[in-house]
Amino acid sequence: MMIPIINNILERFFAKDDRLNNTQIFGYFVEEPLKDEHLTLGFSPSRIALKKRWRNNGLSADFIAEYLTTFFPRDTHEDSKTNTKSEIKSAVSYIANELLENAIKYCDANVEYPITLHLELQSNEVRIFINNSVTASGVEKFKSFIKELSDSNPDEFYLRQLEKNAEDENNDGSGLGFLTIVNDYCAKIGWKFQIVQHEPDLIAVTTMVQLTV
């Protein structure tokens, strides 16, 4: 009985429905689920104050990181190329927290669509996927952000974001979340936009981050 349920949840991340041109991928995105360790958490988009949700995010991100590191036996540097358990934990916790914050900040508040986080581990690759709803205008903003990030040199992009932040104090965020994930953790990142339903339209986006540990 467990298998259909798991398949159903995983469909959110891995469903291939290109018949109607319903999906669009940007960046580095892996579409096959891994067979090894995985963990999926769902968050209902309830009306709890955002601040409170963010405190909970910290807990969820720490839990995900802690859970993952139980699969790594290394506690100390055996050679300088491998990451220690605590380095993996802090990277995963930081990235999961950034992704959860984004999903909560930018999801479409008018639809009942859960935020789902999925974590996979295979040999030395960790992949974190997060799936959330997004409004039509949010999609446009997001795609143009992705284009700008992909077309820019990281240093120039960083400076441009700092300037934008200085000009506009009402910004939702710094616009530096993805850049930090890619630059500070040498992670690969990608996005998949999906039209889940028409009339009423429901669009979902999955952000995937791959970390080599």
Ligand X SMILES: Nc1ncnc2c1ncn2[C@@H]1O[C@H](COP(=O)(O)OP(=O)(O)O)[C@@H](O)[C@H]1O
Using CB under 6 A as the criterion, which residues of the chain lie in contact with ligand X when the complex forms?
102-103, 106, 132, 134, 138, 141-142, 145, 172-178, 205, 207
C-alpha 84/C-alpha 80 separation (Å) is 10
Using CB distances below 5 to 8 A depending on partner kind, what does residue 57 bind out of ligand X, Mg ion, none?
Answer: none
Is position 177 an interface residue for Mg ion (rule: CB under 5 A)? Answer: yes
Return the number of the residue (28 or 145) whose C-beta is nearest ligand X.
145
Query: Using CB atoms within 10 A of its CB, is residue 52 exposed (0-12), middle (13-18) or buried (19+)?
Result: exposed
Q: How far is the CB of 199 from Mg ion (least distance, A)?
A: 31
C-alpha 105/C-alpha 142 separation (Å) is 13
Return the number of the residue (74 or 143) whose C-beta is nearest ligand X.
143
For Mg ion, the binding residue among 69, 93, 102, 131 (CB under 5 A) is 102
- Token pair 């039509």 is found at 136
Q: Are 40 and 10 in contact (CB under 8 A)?
A: yes
Helix H or strand E segment including 9: helix 2-14
C-alpha 34/C-alpha 92 separation (Å) is 18
Return the number of the residue (72 or 94) whose C-beta is nearest ligand X.
94
Return the number of the residue (69 or 102) whose C-beta is nearest ligand X.
102
E runs forming strands in the chain = 23-27, 37-43, 115-122, 125-134, 188-197, 202-212
C-alpha 5/C-alpha 208 separation (Å) is 22
Return the number of the residue (69 or 179) whose C-beta is nearest ligand X.
179
List the x/- string, 133-172, binding to Mg ion by CB under 5 A. Answer: ----------------------------------------
Q: Tell me the backbone φ, ψ of residue 122, rounded to 5 degrees.
A: -145, 125
Return the number of the residue (119 or 134) whose C-beta is nearest ligand X.
134
Residue nearest to Mg ion (CB): 177
Tokens standing for residue 198: 């028409």
Q: How far is the CB of 130 from Mg ion (least distance, A)?
A: 11
Q: How far is the CB of 35 from Mg ion (least distance, A)?
A: 31
Q: How far is the CB of 177 from Mg ion (least distance, A)?
A: 3
Where does this chain bind Mg ion (CB under 5 A)?
102, 173, 177
